[in-house]
């Protein structure tokens, strides 16, 4: 080709002559959003969505996308934030909840956790809970068996792999129709290599004494353990899945924390996941300015009995600059904020006065030690709603990677009809 020639698109004569396996290999390396745009090019590209060999290749070869999913009451869709751009961008994705299960509608399901391209929704009705897993890309839905212990508003943790699912439902035990206590946790384990592969509920585990869990805070997962916050006073609860035992770790501060959140930092396909604590810090002494800080936890925890102290150490790795904190504090107004981490990115979204949808979001790039604001979400209209829809529960934010293939959901027989508690349609 002459040096002076410029070609914007591949010559179709060349493209047509490429072997089909090579074309499929190229398509398998595309990010999920890029492939979804290309699926309309021809019928064959579209049918790759139903090809098991292609989906397996795409799962292995496509790049990791550290997106964040904002689940908004009654919106019927997710708001996706891509933090990798210098100006983080927004997009929209339909939410495949069944009829009568709309979040914020007073009955049905509420968002609880996310992992490996799956979102988990917990039934709102008190009693034996149903945990529903959804892949918004493929619109697959599957439910875990009913939780064995009746609960009111428990805290949920989810860790999914290509062929495994671990889910923890903790706290808010219904000891009577009118009373709850944080006594126990139930763990569901499903693995393609186990018997039965469709999974089972393990024996209940006892929470440490005087635990006080916040279901909105969720859980973080790293190295076979779930981590969640307990308040009054603040403590970090650690659940060793293999040992089926809970224990406590002291946070970097036992007081002066506000809106603390445990998140999974790092990880992806190239690195190990670290547990990080993100919190506003407000001390009465003027010598310590108000700020938002990030600590990471280094292991050494061996999990004694329930309620025992654990080892390990916290290291402060970031602190919000004063000028950024002034803007963030003005947006937050003391109402708290939603927080999640994905890869090397942490997103903090202030809760608004109406708290129905995110009006703004702050992104922290831990690799570059850089704080930057996302552009205003174009799908949020005046009054805090999305598309003019009102709701009352408040938005949630989760780490979310759009995936064409989430084979773990097949362990639950995603094609079979399931009677779901709390659904009224």
Can you give the residue ranges of every domain in the chain? 12-58, 64-412
Distance (Å, whole) CA 178 – CA 150: 12
Instruction: Name the β-bridge partners of 179.
Output: 176
Distance of CA 186 to the CA centre of its chain: 20
The token pair at 190 is 């499903």
CA distances from 337 to 328, 394, 395 (A): 10, 11, 10
Report whether 388 contacts 379 (CB < 8 A): no
pLDDT tens digits for the chain (425 residues)? 444 444 456 677 777 788 999 999 999 999 999 999 888 888 888 899 889 999 999 999 999 999 999 998 777 889 999 999 888 889 999 887 765 545 544 448 899 999 999 999 999 999 999 999 999 998 889 999 999 999 999 999 999 999 999 999 999 999 998 899 999 999 999 998 887 788 899 999 999 999 999 998 899 999 999 999 999 889 999 999 999 999 999 999 878 899 999 999 987 655 688 999 999 998 766 566 789 999 999 876 544 444 455 567 999 999 999 999 999 999 998 889 999 999 999 999 998 765 467 878 999 999 999 999 999 888 875 444 544 333 345 889 999 999 999 999 988 875 443 333 322 22
Right CATH for 64-412 from 1.20.120.160, 3.90.226.10, 3.30.479.30, 2.120.10.80: 2.120.10.80
Distance of CA 8 to the CA centre of its chain: 38
Distance of CA 263 to the CA centre of its chain: 9
Q: Of 243, 270, 279, 231, whose CA–CA distance to 367 is shortest?
A: 270
The token pair at 365 is 């790039």
Q: Of 312, 320, 194, whose CA–CA distance to 251 is shortest?
A: 312
* Crossing angle for the helix pair 20-28 and 52-61, to the nearest 10 degrees: 50
Distance (Å, whole) CA 165 – CA 161: 6
Distance (Å, whole) CA 423 – CA 425: 6
Report whether 234 contacts 252 (CB < 8 A): no
Tell me how far apart the terminal alpha carbons of the chain are, to the nearest angstrom: 62
Instruction: Name the β-bridge partners of 169.
Output: 156, 186
DSSP 85-133: SSS-EEEEEE--PPTT--TTSSSSEEEEEEETTEEEEEESSSBS--EEE
Any idea of the CA torsion for 343, 368, 88, 278, to the nearest 10 degrees? 60
């Amino acid at each position: 080709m002459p040096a002076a020639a410029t070609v914007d698109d591949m010559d179709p004569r060349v493209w047509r002559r490429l072997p089909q396996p090579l074309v499929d290999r190229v398509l398998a390396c595309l990010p999920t959003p890029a492939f979804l745009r290309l699926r309309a090019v021809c019928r064959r590209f579209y049918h790759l969505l139903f090809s098991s060999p292609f989906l397996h290749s795409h799962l292995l070869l496509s790049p990791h996308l550290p997106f964040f999913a904002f689940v908004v009451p009654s919106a019927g869709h997710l708001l996706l934030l891509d933090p990798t751009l210098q100006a983080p961008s927004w997009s929209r994705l339909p939410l495949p909840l069944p009829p009568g299960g709309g979040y914020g509608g007073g009955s049905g399901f509420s968002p609880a956790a996310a992992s490996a391209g799956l979102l988990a929704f917990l039934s709102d009705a008190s009693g034996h809970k149903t945990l529903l897993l959804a892949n918004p890309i493929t619109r697959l839905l599957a439910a875990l068996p009913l939780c064995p212990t009746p609960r009111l508003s428990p805290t949920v943790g989810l860790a999914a792999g290509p062929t495994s699912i671990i889910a923890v439902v903790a706290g808010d035990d219904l000891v009577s129709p009118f009373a709850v206590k944080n006594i126990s946790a139930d763990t569901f384990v499903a693995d393609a290599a186990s018997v039965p592969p469709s999974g089972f509920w393990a024996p209940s585990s006892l929470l440490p004494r005087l635990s006080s869990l916040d279901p909105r805070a969720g859980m973080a997962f790293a190295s076979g353990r779930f981590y969640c916050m307990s308040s009054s006073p603040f403590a970090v609860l650690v659940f060793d899945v293999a040992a089926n035992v809970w224990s406590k770790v002291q946070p970097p501060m036992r007081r002066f924390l506000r809106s603390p959140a445990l998140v999974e930092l790092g990880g992806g396909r190239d690195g190990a996941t670290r547990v990080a604590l993100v919190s506003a810090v407000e001390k009465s002494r003027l010598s310590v300015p108000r700020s938002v800080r990030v600590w990471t936890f280094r292991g050494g925890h061996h999990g004694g009995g329930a309620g025992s102290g654990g080892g390990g150490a916290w290291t402060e790795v970031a602190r919000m600059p004063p000028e950024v904190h002034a803007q963030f504090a003005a947006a937050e107004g003391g109402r708290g904020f939603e927080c999640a981490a994905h890869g090397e990115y942490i997103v903090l979204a202030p809760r608004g006065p109406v708290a129905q949808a995110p009006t703004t979001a702050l992104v922290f790039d831990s690799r570059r030690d850089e704080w930057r604001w996302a552009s205003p979400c174009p799908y949020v209209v005046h009054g805090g709603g999305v598309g003019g829809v009102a709701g009352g529960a408040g938005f949630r934010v989760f780490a979310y990677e759009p995936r064409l293939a989430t084979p773990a959901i097949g362990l639950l027989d995603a094609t079979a009809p399931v009677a779901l508690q709390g659904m009224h349609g």
